[in-house]
Amino acid sequence: MSGGPVMIEKLRAALGAHGVFVRGSLHFDDGDGPQLDDGLPARSVVLLGNIGGSIWRPFSLWRQLPENIGRRDPLDDWSKAIIRPVAAEFGATAYFPSDPPWQPFQRWTMKAEGLKASPLGILIHPRYGLWHGYRGALGFADLLTEEPAPTDDDHPCDRCADKPCLTSCPAGAVEPTGFDVQHCRSYLRSAQGQATCMATGCLARNACPVGATYRYPAEQLSFHMAALKL
């Protein structure tokens, strides 16, 4: 579709004020894409998300409005409030990580941006490190094209000699072979966990040197930790 790059730029303009970025795009062969609202398969999906703390101020201001105080899942609700009108404006279908039918967001992002998993299980970006996220995606019936993501087989973690994430976890839950979720959660429930990671954010994640300048602000770190279902 010749208007693909124009559509991408329009999406950037519509979402940029909210700190939401176009994170990448991918296309599908006929019949392979996720289902659109009209029941047909999408030909293109555009991924939307934050870079560093880009969404924190817009989200915080929205959360302070009287009608939004006390929401159970405020960040998910905010993401839908921002993205759904844009989907309607551009004739797209909105997908969210929190909503069924569960879409393969991790697989999409690995394909669109060439990302790989860190020892913490979080996809690590070569520039933003562990400080990024995906708030939703838009599906289109047309084939949108954009510059392909750079292909780099070199894992950012392989270039990290010290690997402080493996030694900074006070629970010892981060290992080269994987992340022990249950061990982490047990620690977070303890008094020590409440005083460390729960108060200031995951110590192992904070120790990662990749993309350190994009680290979330303290308030955002506390918000994400408090949202954990322990």
On whether the CB atoms of residues 137 and 90 are closer than 8 A, the answer is: no
pLDDT digits (tens, 9 = 90+) for 121-170: 999 999 999 999 999 999 999 988 665 665 666 789 999 999 999 999 99
| φ and ψ at residue 136, rounded to 5 degrees | 170, -175
Residue 173 CA, chain-centre distance (Å), reads: 22
pLDDT digits (tens, 9 = 90+) for 49-106: 999 999 999 999 999 999 999 999 999 999 999 999 999 999 999 999 999 999 999 9
The C-alpha atoms of residue 188 and residue 225 are separated, in whole angstroms, by 9
The pLDDT score that the predictor gives to residue 1 is 43
Q: What would the mean pLDDT of 210-222 be, rounded to a whole number?
A: 96
On whether the CB atoms of residues 15 and 22 are closer than 8 A, the answer is: yes
The model carries a pTM of 0.93
| Mean pLDDT of the residues in the chain | 93
| φ and ψ at residue 15, rounded to 5 degrees | -105, -20
On whether the CB atoms of residues 114 and 204 are closer than 8 A, the answer is: no
Contacts of 151 (CB under 8 A, 6+ apart): 114
Helix residue ranges, H only, the chain: 4-16, 56-63, 74-89, 105-113, 165-168, 181-189, 191-195, 197-200, 203-207, 218-226
pLDDT category, 30, cuts 50, 70, 90? Answer: confident
Q: What would the mean pLDDT of 181-196 be, rounded to a whole number?
A: 95
